[in-house]
């Protein structure tokens, strides 16, 4: 393990800029999505089904827009891609708290189409900022900071709703995220690196959708499905143990395991770590949670469960960055974001059905089972793709 690489990477100004702006944008954005749900079921008095529909509309809109926004990053650059978001999002969120439900539903669909593509954007900036041999460490650092943003942002969002009012919390956190995007727009960092690896003429001319790339998309969907299933199963298990007050502890243990795993993965240097193996590890470590009988033991299993989370997500992005030409990286990562959205969208209803019918243990079992099957399928696709690329090179 070479943890000194983190210090080397952090000394790169463009890395500090991308990671810090990304954290300042993602944390309040995570809070905004949480506040939106609380606003619908709390302030507006709607059902959880109504809140779920709102979330689904937003998720579908983001998934549809991601490839388009990624293509824009490739073709017109950062500033022109971000400009519509900076113009549309502030008035949208200032109006959102005062709209009736169906108008809010329509507005959130528009917001999803023009949401700042934080994940695609920060990954591109991080990849462009460092040499190829430091790419893994840089991506792992971005994943770790994203985990921290995911842990911190919603916490502050919930506190703002509990001790304040969603009508001001919603626009406040949304505008904080947009402000980080404005700062990034002004800085206008490079999206292209100086030492991009050579790619074949076929890939460079536009045929970048290879079997290997499809395998990376499949493994991305598998990873996010498992994470979505784990999330829902954790909530169900803690509630079944009648320990709702310890839900924060359980989530912190899960996120803490991911932080540790991400740091370890980033310290492995250039040693090959197959993304399908990490996805398989993420799925397999889901099963032991069924043995927990109290939230304290469950938290220990959740820390184990989280170890492969950040590494698997980082490895999927790293693999894609090597598999496509730099000129098409934004579009490819946009499609990867769409597949991530698909996995994360399918998991809640599928695993929710299992939880309703068979209990929280079954949620972990079926989440892990699907994850194992999908990881094996993705591994086969990746192996086929690499062998085919080797034959044609």
Query: Token pair for residue 128?
Result: 């462009």
Task: Find the helix or strand (DSSP H, E) in which 88 lies.
Answer: helix 48-95
pTM as predicted: 0.80
Average confidence score pLDDT of the chain: 86
Give the per-residue pLDDT at 130: 85
Q: Which residues contact 30 (CB under 8 A, 6 or more apart)?
A: 149, 150, 153, 154, 157
CATH superfamily of domain region 201-393: MFS general substrate transporter like domains (1.20.1250.20)
Residue 109 buriedness (CB in 10 A; 0-12 / 13-18 / 19+) = middle
Euclidean distance between CA atoms 236 and 357, whole angstroms: 12
Unique residue bearing structure tokens 């949670």:
289
Euclidean distance between CA atoms 186 and 202, whole angstroms: 36
Tell me the per-residue pLDDT of 334-378, one tens digit each, with 9 for 90 and over. Answer: 888 889 888 887 887 888 888 888 889 999 999 999 999 999 998
In percent, the amount of the chain with pLDDT more than 70 equals 93
Euclidean distance between CA atoms 321 and 9, whole angstroms: 18
Please answer whether residues 374 and 228 qualify as being in contact, where contact means their C-beta atoms are separated by less than 8 angstroms: no
253 or 162, greater pLDDT: 253
Q: How many CA atoms lie within 13 A of 391 on its CB side?
A: 6
Euclidean distance between CA atoms 278 and 219, whole angstroms: 10
Euclidean distance between CA atoms 67 and 49, whole angstroms: 28
Give the per-residue pLDDT at 6: 84
Tell me the per-residue pLDDT of 14-39, one tens digit each, with 9 for 90 and over. Answer: 899 888 999 999 999 988 987 887 88
Please answer whether residues 72 and 339 qualify as being in contact, where contact means their C-beta atoms are separated by less than 8 angstroms: no
What one-character DSSP code corresponds to residue 191? S
Give the per-residue pLDDT at 164: 85
Tell me the per-residue pLDDT of 108-134, one tens digit each, with 9 for 90 and over. Answer: 999 999 999 888 888 888 888 888 888
Q: Where are the beta strands (DSSP E) in 191-330?
A: none
Is residue 197 scored above 80 in pLDDT? no
Give the per-residue pLDDT at 216: 92
Domains 1-191 and 201-393 share a fold: yes
Give the per-residue pLDDT at 194: 57
82-103 mean pLDDT: 94
Give the per-residue pLDDT at 393: 60
Q: Quick one: pLDDT band at residue 329, thresholds 50, 70, 90?
A: confident
Query: Token pair for residue 106?
Result: 């329509």
Tell me the per-residue pLDDT of 59-80, one tens digit each, with 9 for 90 and over. Answer: 888 888 888 888 888 888 899 9
CATH 3.30.1330.10 describes domain 1-191: no
Vertex 348: Cα angle to 169 and 144 (nearest 5): 60
178 or 4, greater pLDDT: 178
Give the per-residue pLDDT at 84: 93
Please answer whether residues 25 and 148 qualify as being in contact, where contact means their C-beta atoms are separated by less than 8 angstroms: no
Is residue 198 scored above 50 in pLDDT? no
Vertex 112: Cα angle to 155 and 90 (nearest 5): 75
372-386 mean pLDDT: 88
Give the per-residue pLDDT at 36: 87
Euclidean distance between CA atoms 81 and 72, whole angstroms: 6
Domain locations in the chain? 1-191, 201-393
In percent, the amount of the chain with pLDDT more than 90 equals 34
Give the per-residue pLDDT at 33: 83
DSSP letter string, 126-143: HHHHS-GGGHHHHHHHHH
What one-character DSSP code corresponds to residue 196? P
Give the per-residue pLDDT at 205: 45
Is residue 204 scored above 60 in pLDDT? no
Euclidean distance between CA atoms 393 and 389, whole angstroms: 6
Euclidean distance between CA atoms 169 and 185, whole angstroms: 24
Q: Quick one: pLDDT band at residue 89, thresholds 50, 70, 90?
A: very high
């Amino acid at each position: 393990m070479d943890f000194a690489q983190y210090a080397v990477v952090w000394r790169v100004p463009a890395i500090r800029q991308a990671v810090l702006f990304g954290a300042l944008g993602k944390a309040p954005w995570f809070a905004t999505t949480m506040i939106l749900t609380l606003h619908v079921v709390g302030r507006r008095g709607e059902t959880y089904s109504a809140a779920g529909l709102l979330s689904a509309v937003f998720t579908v809109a983001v998934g549809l827009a991601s490839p388009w926004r990624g293509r824009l990053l490739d073709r017109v650059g950062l500033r022109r891609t971000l400009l519509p978001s900076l113009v549309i999002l502030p008035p949208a969120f200032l109006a959102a708290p005062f709209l009736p439900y169906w108008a809010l539903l329509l507005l959130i669909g528009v917001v999803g189409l023009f949401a700042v593509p934080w994940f695609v954007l920060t990954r591109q900036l991080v990849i462009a900022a460092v040499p190829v041999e430091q790419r893994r460490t840089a991506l792992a650092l971005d994943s770790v900071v994203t985990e921290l943003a995911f842990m911190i942002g919603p916490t502050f969002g919930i506190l703002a709703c509990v001790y304040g009012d969603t009508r001001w919390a919603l626009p406040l956190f949304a505008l904080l995220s947009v402000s980080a995007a404005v700062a990034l727009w002004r800085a206008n960092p490079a999206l292209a690196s100086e030492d991009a690896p050579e790619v074949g003429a076929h890939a460079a001319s536009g045929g970048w959708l290879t079997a290997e790339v499809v395998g990376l998309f499949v493994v991305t969907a598998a990873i996010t499905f498992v994470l979505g299933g784990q999330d829902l199963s954790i909530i169900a298990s803690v509630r079944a143990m009648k320990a709702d007050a310890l839900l924060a502890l359980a989530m912190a243990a899960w996120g803490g395991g991911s932080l540790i795993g991400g740091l370890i993965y980033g310290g492995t240097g250039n040693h090959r770590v197959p993304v399908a193996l990490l996805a398989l590890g993420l799925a397999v470590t889901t099963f032991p949670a069924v043995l927990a009988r109290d939230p304290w033991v469950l938290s220990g299993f959740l820390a184990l469960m989280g170890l492969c989370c950040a590494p698997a997500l980082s490895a999927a992005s790293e693999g894609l960055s090597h598999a496509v030409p730099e000129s098409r990286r934004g579009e490819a990562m946009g499609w990867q974001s769409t597949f991530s959205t698909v996995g994360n969208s399918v998991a809640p209803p599928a695993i929710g059905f299992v939880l309703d019918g068979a209990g929280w243990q079954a949620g972990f079992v079926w989440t892990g089972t699907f994850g194992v099957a999908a990881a094996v399928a993705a591994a086969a696709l990746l192996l086929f793709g690499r062998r085919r690329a080797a034959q044609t090179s």
